[in-house]
Chain A
C-alpha cells in the first residue's frame, strides 16, 4: 500500500513553491500525493483528507495565519472523527508559535530550509504510525537551521 498524503494550501496565501516542491519530493519517494491547489477552505481540506483516505496532511502556510488555520483544521477533523490523521505544517512559523501548534496537535513544523530528505523521512514515519520518537519541530533540528 502506497502512503497517501494530502498537501494543502489553506487560507489566502498564494506562495505554493514550497507546497509543490514537497509534493514532488513525496511523489518521488513513492507516495501518492493529492494537492488541493490554492485557497482551499479549511473544511474542504478536512473533507478531502477523509475522502482521499490520506495517511498524513501537510499544510503549507506562509502568511502568518497558521494558528487560526490549524485551530480550525483540528476542529474540522474532529467533527469528522478524523483527528487521528497526523498533521504537519510547513512555512514561516516563528518559534514562539511552535509550542502552540504542538498543543493543537500538529506533529511537525518545517521551515524554508528543512532538508527534503528530512521532510520525507518524517512524513513516512508518521504515515507508518511511528510516533515512538518525537518528530523534531523545524528549528529544533540540530544544525538544520529550519
Chain B
C-alpha cells in the first residue's frame, strides 16, 4: 500500500513513519483498573495463564472423545466443542436436510447419550468446555449440565461457555433458526438461567464473526460491542440486575496478522466497553465493567496456498492476543483451508501457544507493549474509529434494527468484495498468493472425513427412539411448546426434555412450532 502514499491500518487508520511522546496522551491507568486498557487483571498471566482452548470435534462422539483426550494429553487446558451443522441447526442426523453434513464440520450430537460419550473419562469439575452453539444452545447447555451431574459434579463447579449469540448468526455466520425477536428471548432465558443456577458458566460469548465475513478490525469490534449493548438492554428489559449478569457476559474475537492494530483493537475495545457499562448502564463493580474475551487466531487470514506459512501467521496472531491480555486462545491449524485438522496439525497449533507461554516473556509481565508510542497512539485512534462505527449502528436504531434491515450484512459484504478486489489488483499483499508465490500448489495430508458417522448416527437414533419412554418425551416437548408460547423461562422444560432423551431436532421443532423460522434478506 505504501506506493499509494499514506500507509494505513486495515481499519483505515493512518500510520506515521515514526511515533514519539507527542503522539501519546499520557499513561493509561495500571492493569486491573478502570477502564482496563492494559488488561482486566492486575497480574494477568502471572496469576493465571490464558486458557489454551483448541476448537475440536468431528465425526462420531467416540472420535471426538479420542481427539479431546489427545489434546488434553498434549497439555491443552480447556476444551472447545465443534458441532456439526445439523446439530447447530436443530436437525437430527436422519433428517433429509442433513444430507452429507453429519459429522463434517464438527461432531454430531443428537441426544444426551452422544454428549455423555464425548466427555467419557474427562473430569468436568476440572475442565471447562466452550461450545460453539447458538440456535440450539439451550439444548446443549441442558445436556452438558446433565453430563456433569452424571459425573457427580456439583452445579456450582460446572464451568464453560455456550456461544449463544444469535445476532452474529443473522449478521455474519448464518446458523440462525428462529426469527430475531424469539431468538433474543431464548438467549436471555439462557443468561438468566445461568445467572440463577450455574455460577461458573458463561451463558453467552458475544462473537465477532463479522470480521471473518469481511468487516475490518474497527467494524468488527464496533458490531460486536453493539451486539453487547443489545444483549445488556434485553437483560435489563427482563428486569435483571446489571451487577449480576454483566460479569457473566463474555466475548469472542478474530485476530489476523495485522499485529499492532489487533493489539490496539483489544486495548481500545476494553476501554469502550468499561466506559459503556459504567456510564451508560450504571455498572459499579469492576467485574461488571470488564470485557473478558476469548479469540481465534486464523480464519480468513489463513491461505490455502503454501499451507505451512499459516503456522507463521497463527504465531503472529497468537503473539498479538497474548500481548493484548485476552483470556482464552484458539490457534487454528495450518490446514484449515483444506479440511478439519489432523492430529498432527492440531498438535502443532497447540504448540504455538505453548511456545509463546514457555519460551517468550509474554506471560511474565502484564501488557508488555504498554507505553509504546505507536501502540498507545494507535489504541486512541482505534477507539475513535470503533466509536464512529458504533455511532452509525446506533443511528440505524441499534444492532437488532440494523440487522433486521440488512444494513450490517450489506456493509460487511461490501468490505469483503473490496478486500478481494484489493488482493486481485495486488494493492493488498498476501504472501504465497499474490506476492512471493511458489509455482506448484501443495496439499498437506488431510484428516479423512468420517465415513461411518452418518450411517451410524441414523442407526443409533432409531435405537434410541425405540428405547426411551415416548410418553415422557412427548410430555416434555409439550412443556417446551407451552413455555415458548407463554412467557416463562424455556430452560426448565428443555432440561426435562433432554433428560428424557428428546433429541436436539425434536426440541428445536417444538420451539419452531411456536416461533416460526427466520427469513433473511438476501442481498449481495
Contacts and interface: CB of A to CB of B under 8 A. Distances in A.
A116 B522 contact: no
B524 A20 contact: yes
Contacts of B10: none
Nearest to A67: B100
Interface in B430-480: 430, 432-434, 437-439, 441, 443, 446, 449
B306 interface: yes
Nearest to A72: B99
A73 to B, nearest CB: 11
A116 B420 contact: yes
A114 B242 CA distance: 48
A14 interface: yes
Contacts of A30: none
A142 B100 contact: no
A61 to B, nearest CB: 9
Contacts of A116: 420-421, 424
Contact of A145 (B104, B105, B175, B437): B437
Contacts of A21: 413, 416-417, 420
A64 B105 contact: yes
A21 B214 CA distance: 10
Interface stretch (A31-39, A47-55, A81-89, A101-109): A31-39
Nearest to B446: A94
A27 B524 CA distance: 10
Contacts, number: 134
A20 B418 CA distance: 12
Given A21-B417, A24-B524, A115-B424, A14 B174 contact: yes
Interface string B320-339: 00000000000000000111
A113 interface: yes
A13 B430 CA distance: 26
A12 B85 contact: yes
Which of A17, A35, A92 neighbours the largest number of chain B CB atoms within 10 Å of its CB? A17
Contact of B101 (A15, A63, A113, A143): A63
A69 interface: yes
A23 interface: yes
Interface in A82-136: 92, 94-96, 111-113, 115-117
Contacts of A145: 303-306, 432-433, 437-438, 441
Contacts of B300: 17
Contacts of A66: 100
A94 B441 CA distance: 12
Interface residues of A, number: 49
A20 B416 contact: yes
Nearest to A42: B99
Contacts of B424: 115-117
Interface string B496-524: 00000000000000000000000010101
Given A25-B417, A64-B104, A113 B433 contact: yes
Contacts of B303: 112-113, 145
Contacts of A7: 524
Interface in B80-117: 85-86, 88-89, 91, 97-101, 104-105
B173 interface: yes
B171 to A, nearest CB: 11
Nearest to A117: B424
Given A35-B524, A37-B522, A140 B441 contact: yes
Given A24-B413, A117-B424, A12 B441 contact: no
B524 A63 contact: no
Interface in B44-96: 85-86, 88-89, 91
A13 B85 contact: yes
B338 A92 contact: yes
A3 interface: no
B439 A94 contact: no
A129 B504 CA distance: 46
A95 B88 CA distance: 27
A60 B420 CA distance: 16
B337 A69 contact: no
B248 to A, nearest CB: 26
Given A14-B173, A94-B339, A94-B446, A65 B101 contact: yes
A37 B520 contact: yes
Nearest to A36: B522
A14 B88 CA distance: 11
Interface in B392-438: 413, 416-417, 420-421, 423-424, 430, 432-434, 437-438
B213 interface: yes
Interface of B: 85-86, 88-89, 91, 97-101, 104-105, 169, 173-176, 212-214, 300, 303-306, 337-340, 413, 416-417, 420-421, 423-424, 430, 432-434, 437-439, 441, 443, 446, 449, 520, 522, 524
Given A23-B524, A64-B104, A145-B438, 11 more contacts: A16-B213, A20-B524, A64-B100, A64-B339, A67-B100, A69-B99, A94-B443, A116-B421, A143-B439, A145-B433, A145-B437
Q: Which 8 A-B pairs have the closest CB atoms?
A: A14-B174, A68-B100, A145-B305, A65-B100, A37-B522, A12-B85, A64-B104, A20-B524
